[in-house]
Chains A and B, each alone.
Chain A
Amino acid sequence: MKNALLIVLFAAMGAGSALAQREPGAMYLAQAPSANLKTGKGTGLIQQIDRDKGAVTIKHGPLQGLDMPAMTMSFPVKDKAMLLKLQPLQKVEFELTYDGRNYTITKIK
């Protein structure tokens, strides 16, 4: 029973790993880009900063406007300069857009 459960879990994990290999914020490619840009905002705690890729990983609460529950996720930022003053474990408020394909943080402080 336990093995069966693990097989199911790891089969699912394979799919998850494939998703995780994509660029930050591009995990949900099934949906095509939309002309209707959605905007959202949230608060969270910075987990990691990738200044080279221009991405920040945030443990965030529910995102208003995007129907996204609390989770930890890596997001690209609009401008890498936005990352300069950020530190891991810093509490931030941020705004982001979703074009049906990618999430992008537009403001963060």
Chain B
Amino acid sequence: MNLTTRRGFLAALAGAGAAGLSGFLWQHEPAFAAADSAGQFTNRLRLPGATGLYTAVTAREVKQITVSEVSFEVLPGIPSPFWAYVAEVGGKRLLNPTLLARPGDQIQLRMINRLKQPTIIHWHGLTNDQRNDGVGTYQVGPGAAFDYAFTVRDRAASYWYHPHPHDIAGEQAYKGLAGLLIVKDDDEDVLARALDLALGVTDIPLVIQDRSFNFEGKVEYKLSREQMFMGFLGEAILVNLTARPYFDAARRIYRFRILNGSNARGYRLAFAQGSRLLDYHLIGTDGGLLEQPLKVRESIIGAAQRLDVLLDLRSASGNEPVFLKSLAFDPMHNESVDEKTGKPPAGATQGAGADPHAAHAAPGAIADGTEMPLLRINIKSSPEYKRQVPSRLSRLPKLAVAAGEPRRLTLGHDGKGNWNINGWRFNMHETPVTVQRGARETWLLRNNRASMPHPIHIHGFQFRVIERRDSPAQVKALATRQNGLLPQDLGLLDTVLVWPGESVRIALDFSHPFTGDQTYMFHCHNLEHEDTGMMIGYKVKA
């Protein structure tokens, strides 16, 4: 076999994407884990600035968003095709602007699609009628426009907007389409004053996404059928579209609004100084502030989820940098285990069934669950800061749990490479679930053992988690004493991560002001799962 042929053979095998084949020619040892050396994190973290990426702008001022392909240097000095939400405000051209609003604000804007494929913007986490929710049912083709008009009805929180066309949401989000919509209210104002916080300075959005690049350094999205089944795992982790980022900080309290904007990857987030993990406070979730801060050392965040945290850098010792890290965890890619026993199939000595926890990844990709630093925080000398984390933050709506049996929804796959919910796969014209407007329901989300973690997102209504059962040990280890709930389960959510073998009970209140029947979606926010059918339409009957 000559060299080229043999190489081709190996590359073909690796390209086949079969579980466990990663790293034929090269096994990715996370480049950044080898040394938390200063030299590895040399790019200043991108922050909402006066112009360009992520600029904060009042949502009411934005009258038009053009969905466009632009040229953007994701990696320094390397222009790459990049898809962006482009807004022109006050003579400035903004990419993926951070939209600011307050409850009650009226937002009216026109989306113009300049892509060569259909798209639609989904306002993730907001309570909207079906049309303004923005899903594939309303997607518009190239050159077409779509007018949004809605009122912000939800609590203050870090929401986000991203594409939701049928079958291609993953590709579009991956190529750049995602922005934050930050809603503020009086509680937020009190907190900002108490801690002297300013957006983009000491109140920092952190959008964590993984990406792969071709050999020219351009963003690349090419997935095999098998990779679609697992979800995209990239070769590099970006924070605010910054590779190997650093951030210069003062010795004071910072607020980090963390969005896991990755297509499929989860993170176990901690702040570390050397080998020491720093305490931090969880203060909010998808749906806004908790009632009181919760001291934690680590939090797992699934795709599409948000965590709002306070880090007090006065607890760091000396000037050694602090790293935002993802700690190692078991990614539980257990899709091939025996459903009854939870163990690999009998006789499996190697291959997909041999290691049920194997973090399947394409060649070169960082395996899911890998320990890695994400952001270096340099501690600089600064004036004395005497503020303290407040003991109260906000009030959550009273939790009202429906009586009676829950609606059962089982997450699984058909053994042929298709994820489903209760055996259903997405059909634009079907709504297998109907609920009554104004009704309260409990949904029991049960993930099969032969599965992988699924971040389940429900459109139209935020919800509360009321119980976790049969959680894996690594989740139980983080649980509070209350019904197995995680700290972030104590807030309002629009997306909940459900682990293999786990059952999660959530409480929903289907009250809303919209007349007429409304159709929404719930789906796995592993975007490759969503795109391949792990999504269900449900009807709210008026």
Does A39 make an interface contact (CB < 8 A)? no
CA distance A6 to B9 in the complex (A): 15
For B6, list chain A residues within 8 Å (CB).
28
Does A60 make an interface contact (CB < 8 A)? yes
Picked from B23, B236, B364, the residue with its CB within 8 Å of the CB of A20 is B23
CA distance A3 to B351 in the complex (A): 9
Does A48 make an interface contact (CB < 8 A)? yes
Does A88 lie within 8 Å of B32, measured CB to CB? Answer: yes
- Cβ < 8 Å to A, chain B residues 228-263: 235-236, 243-244
Does B21 make an interface contact (CB < 8 A)? yes
Q: How many residues of A contact B (CB 8 A)?
A: 39
Picked from A31, A43, A69, A91, the residue with its CB within 8 Å of the CB of B8 is A69
Does B342 make an interface contact (CB < 8 A)? no
Does A54 make an interface contact (CB < 8 A)? no
CA distance A60 to B40 in the complex (A): 21
Q: Most B CB atoms within 10 A — which of A3, A16, A49?
A: A16
Does B28 lie within 8 Å of A61, measured CB to CB? Answer: no
Does B42 make an interface contact (CB < 8 A)? yes
For A67, list chain B residues within 8 Å (CB).
3-4
Does B13 lie within 8 Å of A68, measured CB to CB? Answer: no
The 0/1 profile, CB within 8 Å of A marked 1, for residues 1-16 of chain B is 1011011111101001
For B517, list chain A residues within 8 Å (CB).
none
Does B21 lie within 8 Å of A72, measured CB to CB? Answer: no
Do A87 and B21 contact each other (CB < 8 Å), given the known contacts A61-B216, A69-B11, A72-B26? no
For B20, list chain A residues within 8 Å (CB).
10, 13
CA distance A2 to B215 in the complex (A): 32
Picked from A13, A30, A58, A70, the residue with its CB within 8 Å of the CB of B24 is A13
For A28, list chain B residues within 8 Å (CB).
3, 6
Closest to B236 in A: A89
Picked from A16, A57, A87, the residue with its CB within 8 Å of the CB of B40 is A87
CA distance A69 to B11 in the complex (A): 10
Does A102 make an interface contact (CB < 8 A)? no
Picked from A6, A30, A69, the residue with its CB within 8 Å of the CB of B7 is A69
Does A97 make an interface contact (CB < 8 A)? no
Do A71 and B217 contact each other (CB < 8 Å), given the known contacts A47-B364, A87-B39, A89-B244? no
Does B213 make an interface contact (CB < 8 A)? yes
For A45, list chain B residues within 8 Å (CB).
75, 213-217
The 0/1 profile, CB within 8 Å of B marked 1, for residues 10-44 of chain A is 10110010011000000110110000000000011
Do A71 and B7 contact each other (CB < 8 Å), given the known contacts A13-B13, A89-B236, A91-B75? yes
Do A89 and B217 contact each other (CB < 8 Å), given the known contacts A9-B13, A68-B4, A72-B363? yes
Shortest CB distance A93–B (Å): 11
Does A108 make an interface contact (CB < 8 A)? no
CA distance A47 to B266 in the complex (A): 22
Closest to A85 in B: B39
For B28, list chain A residues within 8 Å (CB).
47-48
For B27, list chain A residues within 8 Å (CB).
20
For B341, list chain A residues within 8 Å (CB).
none
Does B25 make an interface contact (CB < 8 A)? yes
Do A88 and B8 contact each other (CB < 8 Å), given the known contacts A20-B25, A31-B3? no
- Cβ < 8 Å to A, chain B residues 39-89: 39-40, 42, 75, 77-78
Does B244 lie within 8 Å of A88, measured CB to CB? Answer: yes
Does B215 lie within 8 Å of A70, measured CB to CB? Answer: yes
For A30, list chain B residues within 8 Å (CB).
1
Does B350 lie within 8 Å of A10, measured CB to CB? Answer: yes
Does A104 make an interface contact (CB < 8 A)? no
User: A6-B352, A59-B364, A60-B215 known; 16 other A-B pairs, CB under 8 Å?
Assistant: A9-B13, A12-B13, A13-B20, A19-B10, A28-B6, A44-B215, A45-B216, A45-B217, A47-B364, A57-B26, A67-B4, A71-B7, A72-B25, A72-B364, A88-B31, A91-B78
Can you spell out 26 A-B residue pairs with CB atoms less than 8 angstroms apart?
A6-B352, A7-B351, A9-B18, A9-B351, A10-B351, A13-B13, A13-B21, A13-B24, A16-B13, A16-B25, A28-B3, A28-B6, A45-B216, A48-B29, A50-B34, A60-B215, A68-B4, A69-B8, A71-B11, A87-B244, A88-B32, A88-B243, A89-B75, A89-B213, A91-B216, A91-B217
Name B's A-contacting residues (CB within 8 A). 1, 3-4, 6-11, 13, 16, 18, 20-21, 23-29, 31-32, 34, 39-40, 42, 75, 77-78, 213-217, 235-236, 243-244, 350-352, 363-364
Q: 10 smallest A-B Cβ distances: which pairs?
A: A88-B31, A91-B217, A6-B351, A61-B215, A16-B24, A44-B215, A48-B31, A59-B215, A72-B26, A89-B243
